[in-house]
């Protein structure tokens, strides 16, 4: 299992690195179910979309609250804004190298996430990426491809244009919606359309994946309408057999539209020894036929981004507590964006005049189990000199602390959820 720090410097300011966290102190504090481990950053100026909060490890979202706006309180006739949005992820760490046998289950809780009224948090039709390595792109003018440089720091979003293949290389169209200088919300008429090489021949390892980092928090997407982009089409399968896909029973030509929902039939399944993200899809255009020539309305399809391009995406319902439980279909990988820091107002002196807008980050780790003896060897790099260490804060005034004598209502809900 890969581990990353939940918040590092923006990828366009320094190279994004994956590293083993220094978690010995954290898991040492998990020896009883009533103790929780926290990391926190000091209050700092709100940096909008420059600070994504990332998933610490592979897991699944078992509960969350996503708001469409900030909450507001009035103190001495001054409005104070804040966010209660959170995301709770369950992680399972196999204690053997082959993934079998004992597993250690723990949880990470990310609080004070920015609600969806912030433009950089909102899920759009296309995925968004931040360029972390200056790369070559192409602009198309009057049917002529002109080479250009897409600088480190640019923000791009998938365009609703079919992908193209030239000389064994797949190109995908993107709109540049923010320049490296930091100009936000470029007017639609001024958006620059560029093409980037995303895949060579049938290879899944691309320079594109090492040149960009996805910034949109896509774990919360539920309903998707997509289009098959694989030139040779995709196979459609019958019902899975356990954790393995079923039999190939149809072929979806390139351009076929598919519809699926994560909250229905969706998950990781094995195909020819590889784990693939699959979904039970509907074919709204009724243009898919089985291998025996019969019209097919639905089937299981690999919906990974290199094969299916999203045309429209809808999130789970906003402004309510969502409880998915341990069978949650909302999977997330280490390093993927969960959300962003929220902003809040802070009083300045006795008159409570509002000073600069600030933000904070609050991440908690806890478990209902005592960590196995060898968990440290699997998680820790004892000799790492990385400066990305957690800043530990005292428990006395820590927000959301589970008091041994009187647990907060919030954590009571979480404990019930964990044992559900």
The 10 Å Cβ neighbour count of residue 14 is: 10
pLDDT in tens, 255-284: 999 999 988 888 889 998 888 999 999 999
CB contact at 8 A, 205 and 180:
no
Is the pLDDT score of 351 beyond 60?
Answer: no
User: What's the whole-model pTM score?
Assistant: 0.70
The 10 Å Cβ neighbour count of residue 113 is: 26
The reported pLDDT for the residue numbered 9 is 40
**pLDDT-derived band at 141, boundaries 50, 70, 90:** low
Residue 70 CA to residue 80 CA, distance in Å, equals: 10
Residue 408 CA to residue 260 CA, distance in Å, equals: 38
Radius of gyration of the chain (CA): 23
The reported pLDDT for the residue numbered 174 is 92
For 163: left if phi > 0, alpha if psi spans -120 to 50, otherwise beta; the answer is beta
Residue 57 CA to residue 60 CA, distance in Å, equals: 10
pLDDT in tens, 365-419: 777 777 676 665 555 433 334 433 333 333 334 333 334 455 555 555 555 655 5
Q: In whole numbers, what is the pLDDT of the chain averaged over residues?
A: 74
Strand, coil or helix: what is 154?
coil
Q: What is the mean pLDDT of residues 240-266?
A: 93
Among 246-260, 329-343, 351-365, which is the least confidently predicted range?
A: 351-365
Residue 211 CA to residue 69 CA, distance in Å, equals: 33
Could you tell me what percentage of the chain is helix, strand and coil, using 3-state DSSP and rounding each to the nearest 5?
A: 10, 40, 50
The tokens describing 95, both together, are 């204690």
């Amino acid at each position: 299992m890969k581990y990353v720090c939940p918040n590092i410097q923006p990828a366009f300011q320094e190279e994004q690195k994956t590293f083993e966290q220094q978690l010995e102190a954290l898991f040492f504090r998990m020896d009883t179910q009533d103790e929780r481990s926290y990391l926190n950053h000091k209050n700092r100026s709100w940096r909008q979309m420059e600070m994504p909060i990332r998933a610490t490890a592979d897991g699944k979202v078992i509960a969350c609250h996503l708001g469409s706006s900030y909450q507001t309180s009035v103190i001495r006739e001054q409005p104070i804004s804040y966010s209660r949005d959170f995301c709770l992820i369950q992680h399972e760490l196999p204690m053997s190298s082959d993934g079998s046998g004992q597993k250690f289950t723990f949880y990470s809780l990310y609080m004070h996430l920015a609600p969806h009224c912030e433009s950089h948090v909102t899920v759009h039709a296309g995925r968004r990426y931040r360029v972390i390595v200056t790369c070559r792109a192409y602009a198309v003018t009057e049917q002529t491809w002109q080479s250009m440089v897409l600088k480190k720091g640019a923000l791009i979003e998938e365009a609703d244009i079919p992908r193209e293949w030239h000389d064994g290389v797949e190109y995908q169209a993107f709109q540049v919606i923010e320049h490296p200088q930091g100009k936000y919300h470029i007017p639609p008429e001024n958006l620059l359309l560029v093409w980037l090489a995303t895949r060579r021949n049938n290879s899944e390892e691309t320079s594109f994946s090492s040149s960009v980092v996805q910034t949109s928090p896509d774990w919360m997407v539920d309903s998707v309408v997509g289009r098959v982009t694989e030139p040779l089409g995709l196979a459609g399968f019958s019902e899975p057999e356990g954790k393995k896909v079923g039999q190939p029973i149809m072929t979806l030509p390139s351009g076929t539209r598919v519809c699926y929902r994560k909250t229905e039939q969706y998950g990781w399944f094995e195909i020819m020894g590889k784990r693939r993200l699959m979904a039970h899809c509907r074919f709204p255009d009724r243009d898919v036929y089985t291998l025996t020539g019969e019209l097919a309305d639905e089937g299981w399809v690999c919906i990974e981004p290199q094969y299916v391009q999203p045309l429209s995406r809808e999130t789970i319902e906003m402004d309510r507590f969502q409880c998915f439980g341990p069978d949650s279909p909302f999977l997330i990988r280490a390093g993927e964006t969960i959300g962003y820091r929220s902003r809040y107002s802070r009083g300045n002196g006795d008159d409570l005049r509002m000073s600069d807008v600030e933000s904070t980050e609050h991440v908690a780790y806890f478990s209902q189990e005592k960590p196995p003896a060898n968990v440290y060897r699997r998680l820790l790099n004892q000799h790492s000199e990385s400066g990305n260490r957690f800043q530990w804060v005292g428990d006395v005034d820590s927000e959301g602390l589970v008091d041994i004598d009187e647990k907060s209502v919030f954590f009571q809900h979480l404990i019930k959820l964990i044992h559900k």
